[in-house]
Amino acid sequence: MNKLTIIGFLCRNPELRTTTTGVNVCSFTVAVNRRKTNDNEPDADFFRVTAWRGLADVCAKYLAKGRKVAVIGSVSLHTYETQNGKHGASMEVTADDIEFLSPRQEEQAPVAAPVQRDEQTQMEMVQTDDLPF
């Protein structure tokens, strides 16, 4: 089983693209801090994360550089050679699930509408358009 869980911070804003077949894909990089070594130098690992379809849309809409996320998905290792001839490797996670861990910023919070109550029952009326199901 290939399943990885990482928690870290976005290094840059997500990039949303659409494939030629019309499928949305969102890519971003997550920095995961390591425990400090003996020399007390902070260190991090960087994971490229790819989210597809509906998850891609949500990530592009709500994530931004510096936000904290938890990502669960399968990991693959890609090797490459730079123009200088040096060899490198990168880890890419294909996200199955992403949890947003940074609190919403105040300027992004929706303004609450005034409460409407049913005159007979005095119960709060709910707009069905706002329900998530």
Q: What is the pLDDT along the chain (133 residues), one digit of tens a residue?
A: 899 999 999 999 999 999 999 999 999 999 998 877 677 777 888 899 999 999 999 999 999 999 999 999 999 988 888 889 999 888 899 999 999 998 866 444 444 455 566 666 656 655 555 555 4
DSSP 130: G
> Is 12:65 a contact under the CB 8 Å cutoff?
yes
For the chain, the domain total comes to: 1
SS3 94: strand
CATH number for the domain that contains residue 93: 2.40.50.140
Structural domain including 17 reads 4-130
